Amino acid sequence: MNPFRAGQKDTPKAASSPSARGLGRVAKKRVRIIKKVRIAGGLWKFISLDRIGSRYVWDKRSGYYFLEWWEGKKRRRERAGITPSEAAEAQRRKQHELVGELLEQGGVPPTADEASATRISDAVRMFADHVRNHSPGKPETLRRYEQVLGHFELASVRKKYVEAITRADIDEYKTKRSTEPSEGRKRPVTPRTINFEVSTLRTFFYYLIHERGLPMLNPCAHFKPLKDERKRAKRKPSVYAQEELDKLFATCDESEKAIFATLLLTGLRKRELYFLTWRDIDLKRATIRVTGEGKDGFSPKDYEERVIPIPPDLVQLLKALPRPADWVFPNPKGERLNHLLRRFKEIASRAGIGHATLHKFRHTYATRLLEKGCDIVTVQHLLGHSDLETTRQYLNPDDSLKRKAVNNLSLAG
């Protein structure tokens, strides 16, 4: 039994019955491919395609392929592309849709040889299992993928089978998501988030095609990203001013000061900080090693380990910390730290600092390095960026640096 095929659970007798085979044949016959071509006089005309057995003989004239089927006494037509492969794929999707409709109406599913389809829910489960097994150290990646696929399932309630998803469905998904509010916020979902979600869906469909062998085209292939006005404006990521940092650290106790100073002076990501152990720190050499070695549930982003030099200020703070556990920053129970943001928001609120986030420390770290003359490739490696373009976002200097640079110019050269 193939667990990935819909309608084939534990009813082999029903699936192989004559009525099932007949239903499959009817579903196939109901959808045919025709073509609209220009004839003499410039008029457009629908033509039937010749067939050799079950294969179409494709008309070489330019034009547009259409699907044609009957719903009772009504003839339906739907555009199916301009190439034979597009037309064949559209026909296959439409057949799955019609089979799905028959199933919903209480019909008997066709046999595996005549029609097979993968339910979207089953495809999502397979993909999640694949990510979980192949990236055990990436629970955050799995969480984000499952979140995207959850949105996709909700948006695709009219389609039960993944093979029936078309490029138009993906376009509708983008439109629908752009009108929905972000989680926990009042503003709509941003173009950047939607582009990430469609990119995730593209990975999902390629997995189904290449790993599971589903005979379909990727509806997300060559998708056009939505324009992000914020990205076009090339706004530099926001950073903490020194005055804000002074207020924050003045509000912290010694343990909290060490935590946030580590984020500020190393550029560590949140999860990299959570999984930091004393084995990762060499205070004599003044370095921190970002590694997933011996840490269940964690690996560096893009699996790239790195060593970060740390300044003397941070060395002194770390030396003064007690060591009740292997974790550098354990919670009061001695377990791994987690959910730091709420605690940080309370501290920032007491300090009178608005728009405070943990990731803003990383932005501040990168910006300060570049402003102090560090080359961009070195900053890239310190941050653990796999793509230099990600680091390049910090290069836009603020007005004070622009003024300082321009003031060095004169008529004397």
Q: Determine, yes or no, domain membership for 37.
A: yes
Q: Are residues 302 and 173 in the same domain?
A: no
Query: Structural domain tally of the chain?
Result: 3
Q: Determine, yes or no, domain membership for 381.
A: yes
Q: What is the pLDDT of residue 276?
A: 95
Q: Determine, yes or no, domain membership for 411.
A: no
Q: What is the pLDDT of residue 404?
A: 65
- Can you give the residue range of the structural domain that contains 146? 120-232
**Residue 344: closest CA among 359, 363, 333, 334:** 359
Q: Residue 212 above 50 pLDDT?
A: yes
Residue at which a domain ends, from 232, 251, 282: 232
Q: Determine, yes or no, domain membership for 328.
A: yes
Q: Are residues 182 and 300 in the same domain?
A: no
Confidence of residue 413 (pLDDT cuts 50, 70, 90): low
Q: Are residues 61 and 208 in the same domain?
A: no
Q: What's at 407, amino acid-wise?
A: N
125 vs 133: CA distance, rounded Å: 12
Q: Which residue has the higher pLDDT, 26 or 166?
A: 166
Confidence of residue 10 (pLDDT cuts 50, 70, 90): very low
Q: Are residues 82 and 125 in the same domain?
A: no
Domain harbouring 280, CATH code: 1.10.443.10
Q: What is the pLDDT of residue 91?
A: 87
167 vs 390: CA distance, rounded Å: 29
**Residue 318: closest CA among 254, 410, 378, 268:** 254
**Contact 353/340 with Cβ under 8 angstroms?**
no
Domain harbouring 141, CATH code: 1.10.150.130
**Contact 239/264 with Cβ under 8 angstroms?**
no
What single-letter DSSP state applies at residue 117?
-
Q: Determine, yes or no, domain membership for 115.
A: no
Q: Which residue has the higher pLDDT, 345 or 296?
A: 345
Percent of the chain with pLDDT over 90: 35
Among the ranges given (60-64, 69-73, 311-315, 394-398), the one the predictor scored with the smallest mean pLDDT:
394-398
Mean pLDDT of the residues in the chain: 82
Q: Are residues 149 and 62 in the same domain?
A: no
Handedness of CA 252, 254, 256, 260 (dihedral sign): positive
Q: What are residue 308's DSSP bridge partners?
A: 288
Q: Specify the DSSP element, H or E, that contains 209.
A: helix 191-210
Percent of the chain with pLDDT over 70: 82
Among the ranges given (166-180, 343-357, 387-401), the one the predictor scored with the smallest mean pLDDT:
387-401
**Contact 36/125 with Cβ under 8 angstroms?**
no
Q: Residue 18 above 80 pLDDT?
A: no
Q: Determine, yes or no, domain membership for 408.
A: no
Q: Residue 17 above 80 pLDDT?
A: no
| pLDDT tens for each residue of 83-128 | 998 988 888 888 877 776 666 665 555 444 334 578 899 999 999 9
Q: In angstroms, how far is CA 298 from the centroid of its own chain?
A: 19
Cα three-residue angle 93-116-92, rounded to 5 degrees: 20
Is 407 buried (19+), middle (13-18) or exposed (0-12) by CB count in 10 A? exposed
Among the ranges given (137-141, 374-378, 400-404, 409-413), the one the predictor scored with the smallest mean pLDDT:
400-404
Q: Are residues 183 and 324 in the same domain?
A: no
Q: What's at 382, amino acid-wise?
A: L
Q: Are residues 305 and 389 in the same domain?
A: yes
Q: What are phi and psi of 53, to 5 degrees?
A: 65, -120
For the stretch 292-313, what's the b/e string if a residue is b when 16 or more beta carbons lie within 10 angstroms of its beta carbon? beebeebbbbeeeeeebebeee
Q: Determine, yes or no, domain membership for 409.
A: no
